[in-house]
Amino acid sequence: MTMLMIQGETFHVRVDGPADAPALMLSNSLSSDLSMWDDQVPAWSRRYRVIRYDHRGHGASVAPRAEYDFDQLGRDALGVLDALGIEQTHWCGLSMGGMTGLWLLTHAPHRIDRAALANTAAHMGPPALWDGRIRTAERGGMEALVEATLERWFPAHFRESAPAVMARMRAMVLRTPVAGYQGCCAAIRDMDQREAIKGIDRPVLVIVGARDPATTPADGALIASSIPGAEMVTLDAGHLSNVERPAEFTAAVAQFLG
């Protein structure tokens, strides 16, 4: 475990792979931590310097009780890169990590080489949905949210056939700090990047889960159609497609990165 101090706040970071290899930064979803990438790192770290970090409010990173926004979440990612002395990186983000990637591609494009944006959206309404989740977390903690979260993340047939994976995912959700979950819910609630992403000029791969009820195939298609030259790949998966279809996900990103 590596803890980096960034502008007086602590972030949990893990680096795998050769120090002189091209950088590949991974960014996790809401209610998860950097362990969600465990299936990808062994393959990707053979060719890349893979940087994983826990988003603000998640895992072992700082989790202040406040409403966050993507300007803050994006600058957190830049702070990690700066602390590691990395000028430019490939990016792979899923869900909230993909949203953070969109912010970086529009606000700091020179820091990103190629970006894979998986199971994500440029806008997710309505606000009442996110306010409801914030209230649920306040009343019952992550225990009140975990089962509904797993149902959104994975189709029923996968939940039933992969009990060990479900146990790992359930534990990951439950260890998410409530304040951090609420802060990131506010960031997603207030996000609208639909116009800004039309100016992105970096190579982008959009990965869509055909069974994803959270960030739907239509959400992914909107991103792909808004970014000139963007590619799109559809996997037969729900929301956490990298966990449900690890081999296919890993290969799709590796092929895109070249």
pLDDT of residue 125: 87
Query: CATH number, domain at 73?
Result: 3.40.50.1820
14 vs 25: CA distance, rounded Å: 10
CB 69 within 8 A of CB 190: yes
Average of per-residue pLDDT values in the chain: 98
What is the Cα–Cα distance from 245 to 39, expressed in whole angstroms?
A: 10
Cα four-point dihedral sign 126, 168, 243, 65: positive
Nearest to 137 by CA among 57, 226, 245, 21: 57
57-114 per-position pLDDT tens digit: 999 999 999 999 999 999 999 999 999 999 999 999 999 999 999 999 999 999 999 9
Looking at the whole model, is its pTM more than 0.85?
yes
Residue 179, pLDDT score = 98
In the chain, % of residues over pLDDT 70: 100
The whole domain housing 117 covers 2-257
Q: Is residue 1 pLDDT above 70, yes or no? A: no
Q: What is the spatial distance between Cα 181 and Cα 186, in angstroms, rounded to a whole number?
A: 9
Number of domains in the chain: 1
Kindly tell me if the per-residue pLDDT of 237 is higher than 80.
yes
* HSE (side-chain half, CA atoms, 13 Å) at 236: 2
Which two structure tokens, joined as six digits, stand for 136?
A: 């649920």
Q: Can you state the angle between helices 96-107 and 70-83, rounded to 10 degrees?
A: 80
